[in-house]
Every structure is written in structure tokens, then in C-alpha cells.
Structure 1
């Protein structure tokens, strides 16, 4: 429905709503009523001004309702922002751009276990070679060579983004099929 428009002066609007023209001007100055300038005089759209005045009276009469509505709206906005932030973080996690502390701890534990098993297997790998040599220098050289081999193997240990995604899906309780359907 197109907006109806009948322009009236502040005095005429005041007579309609039972206030003085000066009161109407003060309400316009306080941004309660909207107006248009026409040759140094303010003119008011009668329909819009009456609605604005009624809204003003309602807020003035029942401020707790107005502030409750505003508080409810503010809470809804805060909730929706928080939900959007959570979705964005979850998306970053799924893309591998962000990692949860739980998954970082798990991957770090895996690395530590690889280092541990490599070091614990060292005596068995070099024991026979060390027993066959007669000098400390030769023994030292065999141990040094074996440690360098372990370090070389560990330097090739790489972060696997697909393994991380798999862990995220498992932690979230998602099935691979659901993820593939989205792709």
C-alpha cells in the first residue's frame, strides 16, 4: 500500500493531537517527529507524525516494555553473532586453518611416541656393531652415525592435514559420507 501523504503545519498538527504548535516544534527538535522544510517552515506528514507521536507516547507510558524489547533484540543480536563466530571457527577447523588444543595435543603425542620408539630401538640396532669394535672412538662414531640416522628420519616427519581432518571428523562424530556429500 503506497504511503499516504498530507502535509500540515506544526499548529495544525498540534490541534489534531491536542498539543500546541510549540510543543510540536520541540518534539521535532528532539527527533520524535520527522518534518520537511518548506520556505522556512516545518511541515509534517500527518499520517507519519501521528504514528510517531503515538509511538512516543507508548514509550513514555511503558518504558519497561520498550527497554525489554531493546534488551531482547540486543540479546538476539549477541546470540546470532556468537553463533556465526562459532560456525566460522568450526569452518576454519574443518579447513585445517585452525586446530583445537585437543587435536594439537594428540598430534604432538604421536610425534613424541615416534621419537621415543626411534630412540628406544637404537641400542638394538647398534648393539652388535658396537660390540665388535675395540676403541671408544669407533664406538662413538657408530653411536653418532645411528643418532644422525634417527634425526634424519625425524626430520622427514610431516604434519598431515588429511590426518588432522580425519581426527576432527572423528571427534565431531561425523561420518566420511556426510563430508563427501557436502563436497
Structure 2
């Protein structure tokens, strides 16, 4: 039995050849405590030494896998943070443009457009009352036509004088955001 145990003991050269590394690397692994040896020159118990080397290799692969995974996760996190910061900066820029009346939300444009539509509606609904006497006093179809045409041109002129007013949009933005008129945040 003593001979069988002695037969399992091998030198660093044999371990290095089996494991596929240099003798110096085997010596370094022994010095680092990864594998154990007995005597001088160093002799290694073959099976436990190879098991220890393969376990060491598994730990390295596993830790490298985690490191790679951690690095990937960190890169994903940094990318997401950068995209979030970029999006926040773009949102802040859009909000500033909106507050300054340079950019308008669809709902604000819709509100202003609705006001214009109601103005047109008012002009048109007022037309019969404003024209009734003149049309009644007209002597011919041509005069009636001229009275109506003149009123339409006046309405069109009033509509043409409706100007884009940044103040109207600013007021809508302030109302939506709950800002007071005297707040000077622009």
C-alpha cells in the first residue's frame, strides 16, 4: 500500500504537461496555495492536485463570467443613464421653448384655433342682423349682392387682422402649469 501512494506522487513537470502550463506556473500556483506539494524537490499527489487545478480554473471562469456580466450590466446601466439624461435635457429645452412661446403644444394650438373658429362663427352669425336693413332697402339683386359682398370683405379683413400673439400662448402655458402672471420664470 505504501508503494501505491508513492506511485501517485509526481513532479511539477508531469503536472505542468497534464495541465498544459509551464513548470514555473505550477510553482506559482503552489506558492499561491492553489495546489499542495510535499518534500524537496516538490512532489504532488496527482489526482487531488489535478482536481484542485480544475476547481481553480472553474472559479476563474466563473469570476470572469461574473466580471463580464457585471461589466455588461454596468455598460447597460451607464447607457440607460446617459439616455435618460439626454431625454431630460431635451424635455427641459422643449419646456423652455414652450414657456418662451417659441414652441406650442397641440392642445394649445387647438385652443387658440378653437377661439378663432368661434370668432369666425360670431362674425357670420352677426351678419344677418347687420345686413338686414341694408338688404331690405336694396332696390335690386345687384345692390343686395354688393351689400353682402361688402360685409364679407369686412369679415375677411377682420380675420386677416387676427394676429399670432405669443402672449396668448404664454398665457395658456402658464394656466396649464399653474404659474401666476407675475412670476418671471421666462
- TM-score interval, normalised by the smaller of the two chains: 0.5 to 0.7
- 1:60, distance to aligned residue in structure 2 (A): 5.6
Q: Distance in 1 between matches of 2:166 and 2:146?
A: 38
What aligned pairs does 1:36-115 form with structure 2 within 5 A after superposition? 62-115=67-120
Cα contact 1:59–1:66 (8 A) shared by 2? no
Residues 96 and 165, structure 1, Cα contact 8 Å, conserved in 2: yes
Match of 1:62, SS state, is: helix
Shift of residue 61, structure 1, vs aligned partner: 5.2
Whether 2:168 is the aligned partner of 1:172: answer no
Which residue of 153, 159, 178 corresponds with 2:158?
A: 153
Secondary structure in structure 1 of the residue aligned to 2:71 = helix
Deviation at 1:163, TM superposition (A): 1.2
User: Residues 80 and 122 (structure 1 numbering): CA distance in 2 closer, same or farther, change over 3 Å?
Assistant: same
TM-score, normalised via structure 2 length:
0.63
- Mark the runs of 5 or more structure 1 residues left unpaired by the alignment: 1-14, 19-57
Deviations 1:78-113 (A, max 9, x none): 111111110011111111111100000001111111
Deviation at 1:147, TM superposition (A): 0.9
Is the CA contact (8 Å cut-off) linking 1:130 and 1:139 kept in structure 2?
yes
From the CA coordinates, give the structure whose radius of gyration is larger: 2
Q: How many residues align?
A: 129
Counterparts of 2:163 and 2:66 in 1: how far apart (Å)? 68
Deviations 1:22-76 (A, max 9, x none): xxxxxxxxxxxxxxxxxxxxxxxxxxxxxxxxxxxx7565211111111111111
